[in-house]
Amino acid sequence: MNKNDISAFAIPIRYGMLNVNDLNKKLIEDIFLELNNKGNEKRSGVGVYQTKSGLEKKYESFKTLSEKIKYFLLDFMKNVKIHDEFVIKDVWGNVNNDPFAFHMPHSHGISNSCIFTGVYFPTSGYLDNDISKECNNSKSPIITSKTQPNPGDLVLLDPNENIKTAIATKKTEKYPFFGNPICITPIKNTIVVFPSYLNHMVTPSKKENYTRISIAYNVSVLWEFYLLL
């Protein structure tokens, strides 16, 4: 008997951990330095402080992070059949110390050949403005498929959620292919990348005296490089 399975119309997502503990403190310092110098850039965050993009061009720490991210994605890009040269660009930082702040559902589109986007967490979040008071010391990512995200989660939304949930039961925790969002809890060193068309959001942290920090980036394919050959 011959049997074959395929996840048709699948959405490629990669997640893991970067071993850059020595870099995290400097990344956080540079985020606050940028906010102090250039102020807040309004994007999807409501009550969230967001830097301007392009930090990889201004700070050595972010240049190094971009190189680490690119290495992390080398085989992923080949696995999804993208063999063109690519770069990590438009990197920016997000700081949330308001328990009710959140990010609206949004996507990054595919402008400027940015076909993937992603998030890196240099900290799990900390209390009382003291980075030594990490809120979660997990050594592995916490990523789940469920209907109810945790406070402060990054949530990836299924583009066909409305169609899928119309035919799923209420117990959708058991049916990850039927519209469940993917929920990523902020854990230090966790990195995730997903297609730039994918809608995503961040839930309120609901924590007093808590600072949530994330770094967002885009992955851009250098189409113009090949057009010149």
Q: Identify the CATH class of 14-223.
A: mainly beta
Q: Which residue has the higher pLDDT, 20 or 180?
A: 20
Tokens for 149?
A: 């995200």
Kindly report the pTM of this predicted structure: 0.92
Q: Which residue has the higher pLDDT, 155 or 178?
A: 155
β-strand pairing of 130-134 with 143-145: unpaired
Sequence-distant (≥ 6) Cβ neighbours of residue 184 within 8 angstroms: 15, 119, 141, 142, 143, 153, 154, 155, 156, 190, 192
- Tens-digit pLDDT profile for residues 95-140: 999 999 999 999 987 766 889 999 999 999 999 999 889 999 899 9
- Assign 228 a pLDDT band (cuts: 50, 70, 90): very low
- For 6-20, what is the mean pLDDT? 90
The predicted structure's pLDDT at residue 173 = 59
Tokens for 44?
A: 């999807």
Tokens for 229?
A: 């050959």
Q: Which residue has the higher pLDDT, 117 or 160?
A: 117
Q: Residue 191's beta-bridge partner residues?
A: 16, 120
The predicted structure's pLDDT at residue 227 = 43
Which of the given ranges, 110-119, 140-149, 209-218, has the highest pLDDT on average?
A: 209-218
Q: Is the pLDDT of residue 66 over 90?
A: yes
Q: Is the pLDDT of residue 212 over 50?
A: yes
- Assign 169 a pLDDT band (cuts: 50, 70, 90): low
The predicted structure's pLDDT at residue 196 = 94
The predicted structure's pLDDT at residue 179 = 82
Q: Could you tell me if 136 and 185 are in contact, meaning their C-beta atoms sit under 8 angstroms apart?
A: yes
CA atoms within 13 Å, Cβ hemisphere of 159: 9
The predicted structure's pLDDT at residue 109 = 76
Q: Which amino acid is at 119?
A: V
Tokens for 152?
A: 């402060």
**Coil vs helix vs strand at 105:** strand
- Tens-digit pLDDT profile for residues 190-201: 999 999 999 999
Sequence-distant (≥ 6) Cβ neighbours of residue 219 within 8 angstroms: 73, 86, 87, 88, 89, 114, 115, 116, 117, 118, 193, 196
Tokens 């979660």 locate to: 136
Share above pLDDT 90 across residues of the chain, in percent, rounded to a whole number: 72
Q: Is the pLDDT of residue 172 over 60?
A: no
The predicted structure's pLDDT at residue 220 = 92
Question: Burial of 191 by CB count in 10 Å (0-12 exposed, 13-18 middle, 19+ buried)?
Answer: buried
